[in-house]
Amino acid sequence: MDLPVMPPVSPMLAKPVADIPAGMQYEAKWDGFRVIVFRDGDEVEIASRTTKPLTRYFPEVAGAVRAQLPRRCVVDGELVIAHDGRLHFEELLERIHPADSRVRTLAERTPASLVAFDLLALGPDALLDAPQTVRREALIGALRPARAPVYTAPATTDRELARRWFTQFEGAGLDGVVAKPLDLPYRPGERVMFKVKHARTADCVVAGYRLHKSGPVVGSLLLGLHDDSGQLQHVGVCASFPMARRRALVEELAPLRMDEAADHPWGAWTDEAAHASRRMPGGPSRWSGGKDLSWVPLRPERVCEVAYDHMEGSRFRHTVRFRRWRPDRTPESCTYAQLAEPVGYDLGELLRD
């Protein structure tokens, strides 16, 4: 491979802001795997945000890159799996599998797409120093002949349209809007763009905690919500606490500690089969990589309010942020029914645009 921009390249990043800034280019914030795609003839490399190779996990995308992208180019984009009108992040996670046969089966069953939103090189020319407007024009021209599963991300300079996108697109599984200064060169690894993400709150049952890697202090609180049948489902964790707060939480939660998990709603967490009918912490995952998944069970009697971006199926998509204790709420009142349900939006409409 011999390109004007060679791997590894860390993608340009965004910093969070409270509102959509004026005078910029706006795009949807895609919820997938951020990638830099390198193509030099038949040679293709798909690299993750951390520059790790993903090519073998997405053979259908590599094939589409050879068929649809210019012969020599470097593209910044997102790998997504979309069907039934919305994105499905969990199906992307299933692709990171050691068995090539499994990867190829999933590639046929739930094929991924590449949504391109920046162009770093084209032919013999590096475009890193070109302003955003120039790179955008070059991207549109380079990908004009492309067809599914390769898409050019819709973009606008109309701030009011971006506000509508922020509301509409959530129903398709997207999680906000990215704003890019019009004169911005491509700056790998730097947070020089801006992102506005959806922020919601939920009251959750605190049903346990994991210890911090540094010692016997709270690393993360394990959160639960009751489903329609009354079962407590594990929905995620909140983990961002100052060290002094981590130590204080151990004492604060001590009265709720259970000597063993047998009588806990998630008492069967070590039984792999039990995870088929209930979400519990410590479920089998190829992402755990031998990590210690043990946790301290608590009587599920305390409720806290957390801030979250959005849901992925029956769990929080990202680590949530602790807001406050809610002594006025009972654990039984913490159900999925409280979660805001975004109005559905057909992702196909966005990609057609």
- For every one of its 353 residues, what pLDDT tens digit does the chain have, with 9 covering 90 and above? 999 999 999 999 999 898 999 999 999 999 899 999 999 999 999 999 999 999 999 999 999 999 999 999 999 999 999 988 888 888 998 998 889 999 999 999 999 999 999 999 999 999 999 999 999 999 999 999 999 999 999 999 999 999 999 988 877 878 789 999 999 999 999 999 999 987 788 999 999 999 998 889 999 999 999 999 999 999 999 998 999 999 999 999 999 999 887 889 998 777 777 676 678 887 544 444 445 668 999 999 999 999 887 777 788 877 889 999 998 889 999 998 888 666 666 777 777 65
- The 3 state secondary structure assigned to 272-312 is HHHHHCCCCCCCCCCCCCCCCCCCEEEEEEEEEEEEECCEE
Q: According to the model, what pLDDT value does residue 25 have? A: 98
Q: What is the largest CA-CA distance in the chain?
A: 66
Cβ count near 193 (within 10 Å): 20
Closest CA to 309 of 175, 203, 206, 195: 175
Residue type, 78: E
User: CB-based contacts of 317: which residues, under 8 Å, 6+ apart?
Assistant: 31, 89, 175, 308, 309, 310, 311
Asked whether the beta carbons of 15 and 195 are under 8 A apart, the reply is: yes
Closest CA to 181 of 190, 191, 192: 192
Q: According to the model, what pLDDT value does residue 72 have? A: 98
Tokens at 347, concatenated: 């992702």
Q: According to the model, what pLDDT value does residue 105 have? A: 96
d(CA 121, CA 126): 4
Strand partners, 209: 221, 296
Asked whether the beta carbons of 351 and 87 are under 8 A apart, the reply is: no
Closest CA to 25 of 174, 191, 197, 159: 159
Q: According to the model, what pLDDT value does residue 282 have? A: 74
Q: According to the model, what pLDDT value does residue 342 have? A: 63
Strand partners, 303: 205
Asked whether the beta carbons of 210 and 222 are under 8 A apart, the reply is: yes
Tokens at 144, concatenated: 């004009």
Q: Considering 15, 29, 52, 291, which one is annotated as catalytic?
A: 29
User: CB-based contacts of 48: which residues, under 8 Å, 6+ apart?
Assistant: 33, 34, 35, 54
Q: According to the model, what pLDDT value does residue 89 have? A: 84
Inter-CA distances, 295 with 211, 258, 280, Å = 7, 11, 11
User: CB-based contacts of 332: which residues, under 8 Å, 6+ apart?
Assistant: 226, 230
Tokens at 58, concatenated: 């997405």
Active site includes 29?
yes
Query: Strands 176-181 and 191-197, how do they pair?
Result: antiparallel
End-to-end CA distance of the chain: 34
Inter-CA distances, 128 with 5, 30, 118, 193, 281, Å = 8, 22, 10, 15, 43
